[in-house]
Amino acid sequence: MSSPEGETSANGVKIAVRDLIKVFGPHPAAMVPLVRDGLGKAELLELYGHVLGLGPVTMDVRAGHVHVVMGLSGCGKSTLIRHINRLIEPTAGCVLVDGTDITAFSARDLRAFRRRRASMVFQRFALHPHRTVLGNVAYGLRVQGVPRAKAEVCALGWVERVGLAGFEDRYPAQLSGGMQQRVGLARALATDADILLMDEAFSALDPLIRTDMQDVLLRLQADLKKTILFITHDLDEALRLGDRITILRDGQVIQEGTTPEIVLKPADAYVADFVRDINRARVLRVKAVMDGAINGARGPLLPLSSTLEEALTFFHEDPSGRRPVINGDGRGVVGSVGLPEILRAIERPNLDRSGTGGPEARLPPL
């Protein structure tokens, strides 16, 4: 008989969160049956004086994916990510990594896990001010016991890959925020951990620098295929980076899906409010709206991964008819798309909010 752990890793799932509950307060364990019974955050606080941090949460993060978790302040994002390297202990439930329950790790296993398998990139960089760029990036390797010379050669490679060649002898205080976060990223990558945990890692940066960092991460990820759990408040960032997105509210998962799933089929008014003001033409791609039938399609070949904004240009000269859609390597026609379905997807839906969420479900402008 195969164990649940074995099944988990065989599915390509790297991190499996199972019925995870975290309650803050004097008697957290006593609250577990109530939470399992469906008692929400507001009631738990009002009736029992405990704070529901999470739960119960079940979630899969697939190997090689960027999985984004987003939601309003206080919804439990940091609590969730900190369970993955056990900076926080669960009140109930477990976290499996590669099929092994890390909540059962001994102190020694946990140390090895943090050093070698899961690296964290922090919002406020958390660099050692007295170490140079090279010293900071090499630090994780030195902790792993790698000799200094070897650690520094490896670190130098990562300093270059994040675009900081020539800055290796500087100190953090001599660098801009964006450069400091490049160091943070290089430090996390240098340990060769296959999991990166990033809690609002780009949120302290100016918008342009932030977009730069997203590009750096996407470029590196195309090569490295790490499993990245990325927390953000920012929907544009989530849609840009995430292969999948989980939306939390009051410690619970409200929706989990790909960008088109979240944008085209928001689970409720809370999610709909998140996606209301985004530029749908820029975040949705042809793949999400095309039809598998090819019949009758004509005109220029439209790549599957084009945004709807790009697709519109294929209809400038002739708005009628359907265009053939081609797959990634440009060789096969995989379907077709017409102007009406593109326009329908771009149009902002008229949401009926009656009965869905109270004022607390309203979001500040993004």
Ligand X SMILES: Nc1ncnc2c1ncn2[C@@H]1O[C@H](COP(=O)(O)OP(=O)(O)OP(=O)(O)O)[C@@H](O)[C@H]1O
Contact residues for Mg ion, defined by CB under 5 A: 77-78
The pairing of beta strand 244-249 with beta strand 252-257: antiparallel
- Residue 141: partners with Cβ closer than 8 Å, 6 or more residues away: 150, 151, 154, 155, 190, 191
| Least CB distance to Mg ion at residue 241 (A) | 17
Structure tokens at 112: 């090895």
SS3 21: strand
For residues 215 and 198, give the distance between their C-alpha atoms in angstroms, rounded to a whole number: 15
For residues 297 and 321, give the distance between their C-alpha atoms in angstroms, rounded to a whole number: 7
Among candidate residues 61, 172, 189, 59, the one with its CA nearest the CA of residue 124: 172
Does the protein bind ligand X through residue 73 (CB under 6 A)? yes
- Taking the least distance from each CB to ligand X, the nearer of 136 and 255 is 255
Does the protein bind ligand X through residue 357 (CB under 6 A)? no
For residues 328 and 247, give the distance between their C-alpha atoms in angstroms, rounded to a whole number: 29
Does the protein bind ligand X through residue 76 (CB under 6 A)? yes
Measured between alpha carbons, how far is residue 114 from residues 36, 180, 197, 275 in Å?
30, 22, 11, 35
Choose from Mg ion, ligand X, none: what does 228 bind? Cβ within 5-8 Å by kind: none
- Taking the least distance from each CB to ligand X, the nearer of 24 and 167 is 24
Does the protein bind ligand X through residue 252 (CB under 6 A)? no
For residues 35 and 29, give the distance between their C-alpha atoms in angstroms, rounded to a whole number: 10
| Least CB distance to ligand X at residue 230 (A) | 13
Please answer whether residues 91 and 29 qualify as being in contact, where contact means their C-beta atoms are separated by less than 8 angstroms: yes
Does the protein bind ligand X through residue 299 (CB under 6 A)? no
What's the per-residue H, E or C state across 50-78? CEEEEEEEEEEEECCCEEEEECCCCCCHH
DSSP label at 143?
H
Choose from Mg ion, ligand X, none: what does 266 bind? Cβ within 5-8 Å by kind: none
Q: Which of 18, 65, 67, 77 binds ligand X (CB under 6 A)?
A: 77
For residues 226 and 230, give the distance between their C-alpha atoms in angstroms, rounded to a whole number: 12
Q: Which of 5, 9, 24, 122 binds ligand X (CB under 6 A)?
A: 24
* Stretch touching ligand X by CB under 6 A, among 72-80, 130-138, 153-161, 319-327: 72-80
- Taking the least distance from each CB to ligand X, the nearer of 36 and 82 is 82
- Taking the least distance from each CB to Mg ion, the nearer of 82 and 170 is 82
* Stretch touching ligand X by CB under 6 A, among 76-84, 210-218, 295-303, 347-355: 76-84
| Least CB distance to Mg ion at residue 339 (A) | 42
First to last CA, the chain: 49
* Stretch touching ligand X by CB under 6 A, among 75-83, 173-181, 258-266, 330-338: 75-83
- Taking the least distance from each CB to Mg ion, the nearer of 78 and 132 is 78
- Taking the least distance from each CB to ligand X, the nearer of 77 and 285 is 77
* Stretch touching ligand X by CB under 6 A, among 67-75, 173-181, 210-218, 254-262: 67-75
Choose from ligand X, Mg ion, none: what does 24 bind? Cβ within 5-8 Å by kind: ligand X
| Least CB distance to Mg ion at residue 199 (A) | 6
Please answer whether residues 202 and 237 qualify as being in contact, where contact means their C-beta atoms are separated by less than 8 angstroms: yes
| Least CB distance to ligand X at residue 78 (A) | 3
Q: Which residues bind ligand X (CB under 6 A)?
A: 24, 51, 53, 71, 73-79, 233
